[in-house]
Amino acid sequence: MGFSAGFIGYFLGWLIRPRPEPMFFGLGEPVGAFCAGLIAQRKWPHALLLYGMMFLGFFSYPLTSILPLWTLWDIYIAFFCIFLFAIISKTMTMKPTTTSTKNLPVLLGFAAFIGTEADILARIFMFIPLNGYQWWGVPTYILPEVFVLGAFQTPFEAIISIVAAIVIGVPLIKVLTKSRILNFGSSADKFS
């Protein structure tokens, strides 16, 4: 559902404000939403596999050798946060008979950060190994500068996502859970 919602959101945003990027580049948002959903459902091995496949594709691409790899520092942190989440999530209580949300800020914070960085990594994967840079006509000698700029811009996107998930998402999920407007069913237990 997250993948579909992310793609619909991207497509509607693209219709409202068209961008020169190829349409396939919009798959970054659905991939990020999918990864955030995996974390929210505590399916961290799947998120780890998704990151691993994108990393493998990126690092095995020959053009990667001219790129400053330190610029992906926030994505490396998110990758290791999957392991941290695996450890922390073991201590989160799961009570199948309640809709307690005491661990929800931690869960949504991790999901937002890891999901946002998965979105960014997916876009990098499409930009470099899938040759998106050629679609835009970006010369290869400019790519290192593009990555340096991204190293300072993308962490702010992650911070905004984390804050929004905690400030807006936590109260919203609590209200929806208590009011029974939406039936989260057994997935509500994942927030306990």
56-81 tens-digit pLDDT: 999 999 999 999 999 999 999 999 99
pLDDT, residue 53, reads 95
State pTM to two decimals.
0.83
Separation of alpha carbons 92 and 10, rounded Å: 33
End-to-end distance of the chain based on CA atoms, in angstroms?
21
Contacts of residue 134, Cβ cutoff 8 Å, sequence gap at least 6: none
pLDDT, residue 100, reads 57
How many structural domains compose the chain?
1
Instruction: Assess contact for 26 and 10: CB atoms under 8 A.
Output: yes
pLDDT, residue 104, reads 86
Q: In 3-state terms, what secondary structure has residue 184?
A: coil
pLDDT, residue 176, reads 80
pLDDT, residue 94, reads 45
pLDDT, residue 99, reads 47
Low-confidence stretches of the chain (pLDDT < 50) are: 94-99, 185-192
Return the amino acid letter for 83. F
Tokens 């999530």 belong to residue: 89
- Domain of 121 in residue numbering reads as 2-191
